[in-house]
Amino acid sequence: MPVEFTIFPQRGLVVVRYFGYVAINDTLIATETYVSHPDYVAGQKQLVNMTEVTGFEKDYVQFMGMQARLTERLIRSDLQSLVVYIAPTNISRELSAVFVRSWIDIGSVVPLVQDSEADGLALLGQPEETLDVLLATLAN
């Protein structure tokens, strides 16, 4: 599946990696797996790396339906979550824009798009400058 996530509860952070061709169902399955994970906590910060996306399913009606289901769960938590998308390519910027548009009227999600890992990590208050260093640091 072209979506993977790792939860770092000690930092209140989730790192999500999209790669290859992304179907809407891939996102739905990954999200359902995430919110049912024992380390899931409402309001966790998210770093969504879209650097390796090569394409995505453009069924916007299905996408908005998926986001509506996710929104219901987020609104019930009364917590705000900062989501930073790393999107350095045209295709990753296009996909991240779809996500950002879907969160426009949802106050519990603050979506931001960055071109670089360093900028995204800084926005999330992480001291590391690259995802590789972050992952290596937290793996210990």
Per-residue pLDDT tens over the stretch 31-65: 889 888 999 988 899 999 999 999 998 876 776 67
8 or 67, higher pLDDT:
8
**Mean pLDDT computed over 99-111:** 82
Going by C-alpha positions, the residue among 97, 20, 108 that lies closest to residue 60 is 97
Q: How many CB atoms lie under 10 A from the CB of residue 60?
A: 12
The residue assigned the tokens 């260093």 is 133
Q: Crossing angle, helix 90-102 and helix 60-77, to 10 degrees? A: 50
The model carries a pTM of 0.89
For 7, the enclosing helix (H) or strand (E) is: strand 3-8
